Amino acid sequence: MDGKAPAGESGQALTERWQAAQRQEDEFWKRAGVLDGQMQRVLNRYVDAIADLSAQLPQDCAILDVGCGPTCVARLFSVGSKTYIDPLMDSYSATYADRMPAGELICGTAEAIPRPDESFDVVLSANALDHMMNPDAALVEMRRVLKADGVFVLILYTHSPLEAVGRGVLERYVPALRHDAHPYCYIRRSIRKVLERHFIVREQTPVWLTDKLGLRPIHRKEWLFVCEKRPPADADAH
């Protein structure tokens, strides 16, 4: 599997696979108490890193959060105007009307961001790339809307090569056992390769991660990548 399209190359199959993932995602976020638990995760893991980034940004910067969910990680930035985009935005706004952050809320996908080129100083995407229909097209769009001197922040789980192979086998041959909400699964090397087609990775920091017993899980790691925009000719050559 390892970053490869889950359902062959056919557009229709990919769309159906993504829609199944999104149904699962929508059900997940509607469960009682889920948002409280997930907000706790966001606060525990990302506050320090985002405070460091905020300190380097001007007050009037423009920040885009792609695949924001109802947690909307970009709300942690202490500066800037925020725009949030997610294909389930209408559902989140209905379910969590009083908990969505201030800012512009867009119902849409990363693969077609309805904003002009170079609109944002920061584009952030947390735990969303492996949920998307076409991560490569999404990265092209996220790079497009980022200013030339902007910062791209990607937060993503990576898995062991063994798990990626196992998940690929289940995805293809035993769909009943597949990881329904995640059409994609990355190992660390593969996400670096994908990212470097569009961005220059400046920092790659492990995110603090423990399971319910306070132990470090061995089957996955979470990373925060801070990237800058690869210049156009350079990006085309990759």
Ligand X SMILES: C[S@@+](CC[C@H](N)C(=O)[O-])C[C@H]1O[C@@H](n2cnc3c(N)ncnc32)[C@H](O)[C@@H]1O
Footprint of ligand X on this chain (CB under 6 A)? Answer: 22, 25, 38, 42, 66-69, 71, 73, 86-88, 109-111, 126-128, 131-133
Contacts of 103 (CB under 8 A, 6+ apart): 72, 74, 75, 81, 82, 83, 84
From the CB of 231, what's the least distance to ligand X, in Å?
Answer: 25
In the complex, which residue's CB is closest to ligand X? 69
CB of 67 to ligand X, least distance (A): 3
Cα–Cα separations (whole angstroms), residue 23 to 27, 32, 159: 6, 17, 23
Nearer to ligand X by C-beta: 37 or 214?
A: 37
Q: Which is nearer to ligand X, 127 or 149 (CB)?
A: 127
Instruction: Work out the number of other CB atoms within 10 angstroms of the CB of residue 144.
Output: 16
The span from the CA of 132 to the CA of 114, in Å, is: 17
Residue 202 Cβ, how far from ligand X at the closest point, in Å? 21
Comparing CB distances to ligand X, the nearer of 88 and 164 is 88
* CA separation for the pair 164, 192 (Å, rounded): 15
In the bound complex, what is the minimum distance in angstroms from residue 38's beta carbon to ligand X?
Answer: 5
